Amino acid sequence: MRIRIVDAFTDRPFAGNPAGVLLLDAFPDDDRLQQVALEVNHAETAFAHRLPEGGEADWALRWFTPATEVAMCGHATLATAHVLHTTGAHAGAVRFATRSGVLVATPDEDGSITLDFPTAPLTPVEAPMGVAEALGTEPLAVLDTGPDIGDLLVEVADEKTVRGLTPDHKALAAYSERGIIATARAEDAARGYDYVSRCFFPNVGIDEDPVTGSAHTALAPFWSERLGRPCLTGMQASPRSGRVRTELRGERTLLSGRAVTVIEGELLA
């Protein structure tokens, strides 16, 4: 099996979020998929195989962290679409059958790829006792992101606070199914982004995710309401960093970005 490492939501190597991508003839058993994902040891490894023509989707797609399978992953979907297009395995828009329904990835003229994902339903909640201590700052607002995302979205004071967070990852694990999205409005929109975020996912084996497409299905409606615009750009301020363009379309959110293949090899085991 050919295996590729793709940096997603970036236009240069060694930035954005790396994902493993394997194109298969069929899915092996779940234990095998989990073993490969653990060996790759990136936030997610994507496994895809072609589906028969004439159905509602073109490829089946699953995502695994080193610890578990997840219901939705934006950056590994972008990485998979990038591999399909750059290898000639698929031309034009590709429809993926996933645990979150059919997700569509469309190549754009500028070389980016746009993902059509369900918008996360946001529900304001009281800040759980102890979350401020675990995160390292007082929340301004806390919202539940629904079952598909499984995070708490936490607004904090400002961009400087987001960038300076050093949370207690073990303690954060108690507050949501997957983890915490910390966010704030951009300090200076002239820098080319409207809001910043960082994502901490200890419950799926990822202390900090470099760039999280799925989180932006919650960040897009949150910030579009506050800033009064459907089209925004988010900066995920991890050490690798990356940018995600978002467009809110009611129950759907479009996520756009680029990807770069950095490693290609053969899985021998």
Q: Is 44 a catalytic residue?
A: yes
Distance, first Cα to last Cα, the chain: 9
Please choose, from the candidates 229, 239, 251, 231, the residue with its C-alpha nearest in 3D space to the C-alpha of residue 100. Answer: 251
CA 14 to chain centroid: 17
Half-sphere exposure of 210 (CA within 13 A, CB side): 19
CB of 24 closer than 8 Å to CB of 50:
no
| H or E stretch covering 224 | helix 216-227
Type of residue found at 2 = R
DSSP β-bridge partners for residue 4:
21, 264
CA distances from 236 to 242, 255, 258 (A): 6, 13, 14
Instruction: Please pick, among 44, 155, 159, 208, the residue that the annotation labels catalytic.
Output: 44
- Secondary structure E strands in 9-112: 17-24, 44-50, 59-64, 69-70, 94-98, 101-107
**Which residues, in sequence order, are CB contacts of 164 under 8 Å at separation 6+?**
none
Contacts of 154 by beta carbon, 8 Å cutoff, 6+ apart: 127, 131, 135, 139, 141, 142, 180, 181, 182, 183
Catalytic residues: 44
